[in-house]
Amino acid sequence: MPGRASITRRLITAVLLLEVLAAIALIGAATVHERKVQYEAFDANLRSHASAIFGAVQDADDVGDNVQLELRGLKIPKRAIYRVTDQRETVLGATGTVPFLHPKPDGFENADVDGRSYRFFVLNADRIIDPGVNGGIERPVRVVFGLPDGHVWHEVLGAVRFFVIATLLLLSLTTVLMIWLIRRLLMPIHELASRAEALSALHWQFEAPISAKQYTELRPLATAIERTIARLQHAFEQQKRFTSDAAHELKTDLAIVKSSLQLLSMKRRTTEDYERGVALALDDFTRLEQTVQKMLTLSRLEQPQEARGQTCRMDAVMLEAVRQSSPFAELNNVHVISELAAATVPLDSRDAMLLCSNVLLNALQHSREGGCVEVRSAVLDGNAMVTVRDYGEGIREDERERVFLPFYRGDPSRARKSGGTGLGLSICKAICDRVGGRIEIADHVGGGALVKILLPALGAQGQPNAAVLSSLHLG
């Protein structure tokens, strides 16, 4: 089993890594800058001492108008190395061994002397003697002056050491503050998880904590969890209600069959009475079998659909449903009018027949004797629209959503008398939902009820046409 990863640890590690990289870059930049500053000061010191020694070069007051070095009163640093020569490379003064150098004019150069690192400055200048005689005589003088530069690196390393210690202290402080801050910022996630963990089959109330909704990044997650749990709660409540209604429905049917058989066994009866009682019991058993079969059908339709690419002609299926229901229509003296346009929908022909026959039978059952039922279809905005209108009593507004609930009957006595189970419209809704369609029922402005079915219509290549189902409303 792979180890659990921690966002907090990863975030802290990433931030610390970035801080360490930034600190290394800062220390490197500080080292380069400090070295530059220290060497600029050191070079200025070398230049100053070389200039002072050059200033100690005086007129020798001899016949050849030579120069000499007079260092009295001039302080030369310890461990300093210098050499002063004239134009003839005559050494005017020297201390220590000056190595062979190739510096640029008035330039600096590093060299090792007796295992110690030195930095030298070479000053080339002209010394003017007897300035009152024809503007003076120029005597070229070369001054080489050097000092050990070990203390420069000592100063640089001291500054770097300070930056390293300060950076480590700052990293330690920011690490503590960052851990505290990240845990505080992640607290809404922990609160959200705690609320979600408290959910159970008996407790479905969930409301995301205010702290989670205050953050822009967490608000979509909190809202999505609330909506998901609300849908799950609705689904569980529907399942619970379906189970309860199914148990009640089956119990009622079994009670009827049981009472009929018990009534036959209470006393001796004639053969005709037994035959009539057994026939009634068989009818009740048939109705019970139909109820179970419809329950299984509804359960099948509510399962995810496998992409099998089945299609059918909705107009042809509706015509067949009208033909099959014609005996029932004639029995109730109801006339069926149909005006159907060709439309192909992504439905299995058996499911399409179940949908059409249930809606048509519902309209026939609610029609007055001598009335009519109008069945029409058309293709609008990429949707196959089927409408079934009756001229009965219509439907109350508070029943328009409930009629699609399993086992719901607006008129229980009539439904049981006609053999209805209260599952027909539920099956119709499940069929429509399965293919992304919709079914609605409402009162028609001219009287009676109007059932409208909207299904995706398929084009020539069998692909759904783009459509917005909600753009169509019941009239």
For residues 45-52, give the mean pLDDT.
Answer: 92
Predicted pLDDT of residue 306: 62
pTM for the full predicted model: 0.51
pLDDT band at 14 (very low <50, low <70, confident <90, very high): confident
Residue-number span of the structural domain to which 66 is assigned = 7-157
Residue 3: pLDDT above 70?
A: no
Residue 409: pLDDT above 70?
A: no
Q: Which residues contact 68 (CB under 8 A, 6 or more apart)?
A: 57, 58, 59, 60, 92
For residues 263-291, give the mean pLDDT.
Answer: 77
Same domain, 427 and 289: no
Residue 259 counted as domain residue: yes
> CA-CA distance, 208 to 222, in Å (whole number)?
6
Angle at 326 between CA 325 and CA 330, to 5 degrees: 125
Residue 207 counted as domain residue: no
Residue 129: pLDDT above 70?
A: yes
Instruction: Find the CATH number of the domain harbouring 274.
Output: 1.10.287
pLDDT band at 248 (very low <50, low <70, confident <90, very high): low
Asked which of 105, 126, 157 is the last residue of a domain, the reply is 157
Same domain, 448 and 355: yes
**Cβ proximity of 139 and 54 under 8 Å:** no
Q: Which residues contact 427 (CB under 8 A, 6 or more apart)?
A: 294, 297, 298, 301, 354, 355, 358
Residue 278 counted as domain residue: yes
For the four alpha carbons of 360, 363, 367 and 372, in that order, the dihedral sign comes to negative
More confident residue, 50 or 206: 50
Asked which of 279, 300, 321 is the last residue of a domain, the reply is 300
Write out pLDDT tens, residues 189-229: 888 888 888 877 677 777 788 878 888 888 888 888 888 88
For residues 117-139, give the mean pLDDT.
Answer: 81
Asked which of 300, 335, 364 is the last residue of a domain, the reply is 300
Same domain, 274 and 313: no
Residue in this structure with the two tokens 């100063």, named with its chain if needed: 155
For residues 231-237, give the mean pLDDT.
Answer: 77
Determine the 3-state secondary structure of 239 from DSSP: helix
| CA-to-CA dists, residue 374 to 201, 254, 337, 449, angstroms | 46, 38, 5, 11
